[in-house]
């Protein structure tokens, strides 16, 4: 694909942020190097660094559960030490470093977490104290925790939310998602990554005056005032089916790399019981090999109206409920909806001759609805002028088309909505470390 590029951008922000910033980091190792190994050998010397999630005292022995970062999940190691040698400031939630030798475990309490070995502590220090008056630390440190990442208590304490095992797993999958996006576009498809400006003098799609951050007062489970998306533009593309093939290949690549190759982290981050997570895995595995359905907007609207009639609608859009119905009715799989009324899509979408339609597409997925939108881009300057009307601030956009501009197509895929759809997360507010929505901007 010649002159193709992609952008991984945080939308509606006024300042840039580091792409790979994370609340959790790998910090445990064997002989202080690398993550904790799955299989440990008795009498092997080991250095463990992590956070205390459990403390128990039995006679003269203290047992300490420490959670450390592993390859695809948080692992727990049980530390065994003499109560007389226990640091005075050792408390639930603090960060510790311990060294000692591996021994067969005295117990294996949690079948979902491998605790077949203990670490007989020879030396231990608290490297990060946890104040004794810190409220709710036990709720966030426990595994499994009685809190869900979407609970009011968890959202009010964003600084503690990454301690929740399920939310930590989601953040690790989100990191894998970012890496998989770069892998797909740069290595698989040969795109070029472009860093676009965040500050703009143009009004954004959400309306509101310039320099306001997505001004509408949306409180839905699918919208944030600040969100991440990947945008791709393909040069010399004048066939909508070519764009659909690219979007489908991206979704399948991400699902394989993020979900199917990380089943343990997926089940830990999934919002639901293990049985539901297993069913979801099988469903995603099926979707990753099946061909996505493709419907024209008129056919999708007819199909949706058989079950859900949007009385407030004008026939130009699909309501959220109608989107869900369409995805269910085509066999509970992703579906492309194409050929939209021109008034429902941006001015730069290419028209379908004189039909009043534009060559645009939305990707709908079960459980969430639309997660991706794109179109062929209008490259006729006169057609753009007619659709734009008088708009001095966009003259630069017309100039782009005057100097050998090739036919192009592009799309944007929302990262939070993708995670919401594969993990069955009720709200996108729980698919990002520090969400921003109207009247909420912590940290």
Query: 3-state DSSP call for residue 359?
Result: strand
What CATH number is given to the structural domain containing 88? 2.40.50.140
- The reply to whether 121 and 203 lie within a common domain is no
**Percent of the chain at pLDDT above 70?**
76
Q: Residue 83 corresponds to which tokens in the numbers above?
A: 């109560």
pTM above 0.85, yes or no: no
- The reply to whether 328 and 212 lie within a common domain is yes
**Pair type for strands 5-11 and 227-235:** antiparallel
Average pLDDT for 387-391: 82
In a domain, 144, yes or no: no
Contact predicate 422/255, CB 8 Å: yes
Neighbours of 364 (CB within 10 A): 28
Neighbours of 39 (CB within 10 A): 7
- The reply to whether 206 and 334 lie within a common domain is yes
pLDDT reading at 302 higher than 60: yes
Distance CA(289)–CA(156), nearest Å, equals 40
The answer for residues whose C-beta is within 8 angstroms of residue 316's C-beta and 6 or more apart is: 341, 343, 344
Position 269 confidence tier, pLDDT thresholds 50, 70, 90: very high
Closest by CA position to 78, among listed 123, 120, 135: 120
Distance CA(242)–CA(237), nearest Å, equals 7
In a domain, 436, yes or no: no
- The reply to whether 266 and 214 lie within a common domain is yes
How far CA 285 is from CA of 166, 188, 211, 304, in Å, comes to 22, 21, 42, 26
Q: In what order do the strands lie in the sheet with 5-11?
A: 192-193, 5-11, 227-235, 408-414, 369-376, 357-365, 335-341, 293-296
Total domain count, the chain:
2
Average pLDDT for 208-226: 61
- The reply to whether 378 and 258 lie within a common domain is yes
How far CA 80 is from CA of 33, 55, 57, 83, 334, in Å, comes to 21, 10, 10, 9, 50
- The reply to whether 126 and 219 lie within a common domain is no
pLDDT reading at 136 higher than 50: yes
Domain span at 307: 5-16+164-430
Average pLDDT for 248-252: 98
Distance CA(388)–CA(353), nearest Å, equals 18
Distance CA(324)–CA(307), nearest Å, equals 11
How far CA 107 is from CA of 40, 94, 103, 104, 403, in Å, comes to 16, 23, 11, 9, 72
Mean pLDDT lowest for which of 22-26, 98-102, 154-158, 162-166?
Answer: 22-26
- The reply to whether 296 and 246 lie within a common domain is yes
What CATH number is given to the structural domain containing 309? 3.30.930.10
In a domain, 408, yes or no: yes
In a domain, 243, yes or no: yes
401-419 tens-digit pLDDT: 888 889 999 999 999 999 9
- The reply to whether 79 and 174 lie within a common domain is no
């Amino acid at each position: 694909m010649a002159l193709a590029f992609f952008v991984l951008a945080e939308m509606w922000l006024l300042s840039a942020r580091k792409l790979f910033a994370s609340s959790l980091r790998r910090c445990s190792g064997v002989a202080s190097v690398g993550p904790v190994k799955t299989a440990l050998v008795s009498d092997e010397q080991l250095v463990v660094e992590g956070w205390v999630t459990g403390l128990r005292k039995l006679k003269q022995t203290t047992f300490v559960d420490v959670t450390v970062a592993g390859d695809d999940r948080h692992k727990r190691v049980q530390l065994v030490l003499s109560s007389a040698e226990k640091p005075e400031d050792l408390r639930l939630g603090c960060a510790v470093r311990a060294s000692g030798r591996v021994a067969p475990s005295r117990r294996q309490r949690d079948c979902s977490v491998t605790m077949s070995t203990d670490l007989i502590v020879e030396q231990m220090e608290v490297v990060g104290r946890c104040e004794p008056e810190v409220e709710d630390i036990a709720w966030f440190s426990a595994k499994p925790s009685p809190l869900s990442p979407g609970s009011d208590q968890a959202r009010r304490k964003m600084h503690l939310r990454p301690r929740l095992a399920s939310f930590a797993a989601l953040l690790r999958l989100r990191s894998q998602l970012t890496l998989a996006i770069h892998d797909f576009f740069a290595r698989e498809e040969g795109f070029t990554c472009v860093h676009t400006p965040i500050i703009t003098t143009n009004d954004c799609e959400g309306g509101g005056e310039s320099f306001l951050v997505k001004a509408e007062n949306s409180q839905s489970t699918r919208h944030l005032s600040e969100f991440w998306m990947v945008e791709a533009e393909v040069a010399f593309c004048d066939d909508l089916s070519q764009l659909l093939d690219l979007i489908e290949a991206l979704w399948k690549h991400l699902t394989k790399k993020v979900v199917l190759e990380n089943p343990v982290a997926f089940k830990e981050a999934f919002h639901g019981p293990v049985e539901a997570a297993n069913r979801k895995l099988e469903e995603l595995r099926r979707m990753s090999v099946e061909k996505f359905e493709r419907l024209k907007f008129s056919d999708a609207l007819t199909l949706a109206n058989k079950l859900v009639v949007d009385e407030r609608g004008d026939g130009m859009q699909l309501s959220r409920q109608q989107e869900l119905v369409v995805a269910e009715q085509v066999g509970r799989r992703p579906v492309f909806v194409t050929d939209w009324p021109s008034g429902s899509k941006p001015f730069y979408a290419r028209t379908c001759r004189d039909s009043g339609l534009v060559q645009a597409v939305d990707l709908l997925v079960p459980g969430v609805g639309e997660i991706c939108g794109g179109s062929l881009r209008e490259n006729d300057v006169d057609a753009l002028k007619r659709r734009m009307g008088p708009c001095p601030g966009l003259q630069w956009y017309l100039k782009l088309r005057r100097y050998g501009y090739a036919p192009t197509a592009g799309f944007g895929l929302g990262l939070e909505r993708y995670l919401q759809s594969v993990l069955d997360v009720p709200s996108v507010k729980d698919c990002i470390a520090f969400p921003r929505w109207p009247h909420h901007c912590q940290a």
